[in-house]
Amino acid sequence: MNQKKNEPSVARKPRRRKEARPAEIVVAGIIEFEEHGFAGAKLSRIAQKAGIAKSTIYLYFESKEALFIAAIEEHVASVMGESEAKLFSEEGTTRELLLGLLQNMYARFVHGEAQALFRILLTEGDRLPDLISEYHALTIQKGSTLLKKILARGLERGEVRPGPHLEIPHVLIAPAIYFAVHKMMFRSAQPLDFEEYFEAHTDVLFHGVLTG
Amino acid sequence: MNQKKNEPSVARKPRRRKEARPAEIVVAGIIEFEEHGFAGAKLSRIAQKAGIAKSTIYLYFESKEALFIAAIEEHVASVMGESEAKLFSEEGTTRELLLGLLQNMYARFVHGEAQALFRILLTEGDRLPDLISEYHALTIQKGSTLLKKILARGLERGEVRPGPHLEIPHVLIAPAIYFAVHKMMFRSAQPLDFEEYFEAHTDVLFHGVLTG
DNA sequence: GGAATTAATGACCTCTGGGTCATTAAATAA
DNA sequence: TTATTTAATGACCCAGAGGTCATTAATTCC
C-alpha cells in the first residue's frame, strides 16, 4: 500500500502557530468572500492571503462551506456585539437621541466593517437562513426596537408627532442603508458626498417626525 | 484527422427555431445569474432552463461572460426603457407628483423585474463598470434629476420648504430602495408589510419637505 | 540528546464545469 | 428525389478548484 510518491524536496519554513491560525484564516476568508462571493472565492487565494498552504486550512476547517459559515458567524458576533445599550440613555432630547443613533448607524454600515458583512449576507444570504435570522435580530430588530422606544418617549414629551412612523421606524433609518448600498454599487461611478447627505437625512428626518 | 469517436446514437428531437433562441437563452440566463451570481451560475442549468443542449448556447454566445453581459445589457435596456417622460407632467400639486414618482419606484424595484437586475448588479457590478455607469444614469441620475425638478417647482409654488434635500433628493426615495433590499435579504425571516410601509414613507416624506 | 508528537506542507487525486467538435437531421434548394 | 445547408446535439477535452495524504521539521517530553 505504500507507493513512493510524494518526494517532498527541500526547504520549507514552517514556524509554529496554533491558536492564532484559525483567526487568521477567518480574516483572510472574510476578505476573499466579500470580494468574490462564495462560489467565486478560492481556497488557494485565502491560503495565500493568510500566508499558509492551502492544505493547512483543512487542519482547522472541514470544508469551504464550513470555513464560510464560521467566518460569517464570527464576524456577525464581533461586529454587531457591543455598543447599543448605552445608546438609549434616557437623557437628552429626542433630537439628540436620534442624532446619536444615526451617527452610530452610519459609522457601522458606511464606514465600518459591517459593510463587508452586509454585502456578503446580501449576496449569499439565501444559503444561510439561520445566519440571516440572527443578523436580522442583531441589526434591524434591535435597531427598530430602540427607535420605537425613542419615538414613544418623544411622543410623551411632546417632541414627536404621532403617525405611522411610530410603528414602522425603518423608514427613518432607510437613508443610511441606501447610502451604504449606493456606495457599494456606484462608488466608482458617482460617489455621494457624505457630509451633505448626512445633513439632508437628519434635516428631512427631523422635519418629518419632530414637532415644532 | 478523422478519428471515429462520437458515435452519436439515436433519437433526438431537434425541431427548428432560430430567431427566438437568443432571447430564450437570455431569459434563462437572467434567472440563473440572479439566483446564483456569475461564478455560481452553470451553463448546463441555463441550457436546461431554456430547454436546449449546453453546446447550443455557443451557437449564439461566445462565452459565459459574453452571455452574461448580453443578458444584463438587454435587461437594463428593456426594463429601464420607457415611462419616465410623462411623470413630470407639470400638472398637479407637488404632493401628487411625488406620490406618482414613488409609486413608480416601488412598482419597479419592489414588485417588478427591476429587482432581479438590481440584485445582480449589486452583487456582480464590480466586473461591469460600464454597465454600472449606464444603469446609474438610467435610474439614479434620471430619478434624482426629475425629483430636483419637482422640488424646484414646488419651491416656487410655495409647496416645498427650502433645505438640503433640494440638492440631495436621494434621501427622499431611499426608503423605497431600502424596502427592496430588506425584501431581498429578509423575505424569509421578517417581511415588511408593504401598505403600512408605503404609507409611513409618504407620510414622513410629506411632513419632511412640504409646507403646511 | 533521542523519541514521540504535531503543525504544516506540497504532491496528488477527483470531479465539476466551461468550452470544442464531429455528427445528425430538419429545412431548403436543385 | 436528391443534394446542400445549418440548427442542434452529445461525446469529449481540459484546466482549475475542492479536498486527501504521506512526509517533514519544529516542538515537547523523557
Mean pLDDT estimate for chain A: 87
**pLDDT the model gives residue A8:** 43
**pLDDT the model gives residue A98:** 96
B158 to chain A, any CB pair closer than 8 A? The answer is no
For residue A86, what pLDDT band results from cuts at 50, 70 and 90? low
**pLDDT the model gives residue B6:** 46
Check: CB of residue B122 under 8 Å from CB of residue A37: no
Place of cell 526547504: A11
**pLDDT the model gives residue A195:** 97
DSSP sequence for chain A: ---------S--------SHHHHHHHHHHHHHHHHHHHHH--HHHHHHHHTS-HHHHHHH-SSHHHHHHHHHHHHHHHHHSSS-GGG--S-S-HHHHHHHHHHHHHIIIIISTHHHHHHHHHHHGGG-HHHHHHHHIIIIIHHHHHHHHHHHHHHHTT-B--SGGGT-THHHHHHHHHHHHHHHHHTTT-PPPHHHHHHHHHHHHHHHHB--
Protein chain B, residues 54-73, with a C-beta closer than 7 Å to any atom of nucleic acid strand D: 54-56, 59
A168 to chain B, any CB pair closer than 8 A? The answer is yes
Among B165, B179, B190, whose Cβ lies nearest the Cβ of A200? B165
**pLDDT the model gives residue B151:** 97
**In sequence order, which residues have a C-beta less than 8 Å from that of residue A158 and are 6 or more positions away?**
A211
**pLDDT the model gives residue A3:** 38
Among A136, A167, A186, whose Cβ lies nearest the Cβ of B190? A136
- What does the block give as the cell for B5? 469517436
**pLDDT the model gives residue B8:** 43
Query: What's the pLDDT tens digit per position in B97-119?
Result: 999 999 999 998 888 888 888 88
The mean pLDDT of B124-129, rounded to a whole number, is 84
Given a cut of 70, whether residue A84 has pLDDT beyond it is: no
Contact B163 A188 (CB under 8 A): no
For residue B85, what pLDDT band results from cuts at 50, 70 and 90? low
**In sequence order, which residues have a C-beta less than 8 Å from that of residue B137 and are 6 or more positions away?**
none
Whole-number Å distance between alpha carbons of B137 and A172: 26
Whole-number Å distance between alpha carbons of B29 and B67: 8
A65 to chain B, any CB pair closer than 8 A? The answer is no
pTM summary value: 0.87
Query: What's the pLDDT tens digit per position in B69-81?
Result: 999 998 888 777 6
Which candidate, A205, A96, A208, places its Cα nearest to that of A150? A96
pLDDT more than 90, % of chain B: 61
Most confident of A187-196, B26-35, B116-125: B26-35
Contact B207 A163 (CB under 8 A): yes
Whole-number Å distance between alpha carbons of B29 and B41: 8
Interface of A with B in 98-137 (CB under 8 A): 121-123, 125, 129, 132-133, 136
Which candidate, A210, A208, A202, A209, places its Cα nearest to that of A106? A202
Check: CB of residue B160 under 8 Å from CB of residue B151: yes
Closest Cα in chain B to A205: B208
The mean pLDDT of B82-89, rounded to a whole number, is 58
Given a cut of 50, whether residue A16 has pLDDT beyond it is: yes
Query: What's the pLDDT tens digit per position in A149-166?
Result: 999 999 999 999 999 999
pLDDT more than 70, % of chain B: 87
User: Which residues in chain B have their CB less than 8 angstroms from residue A132's CB?
Assistant: 185-186, 188-189
**pLDDT the model gives residue A66:** 96
Check: CB of residue A92 under 8 Å from CB of residue A150: no
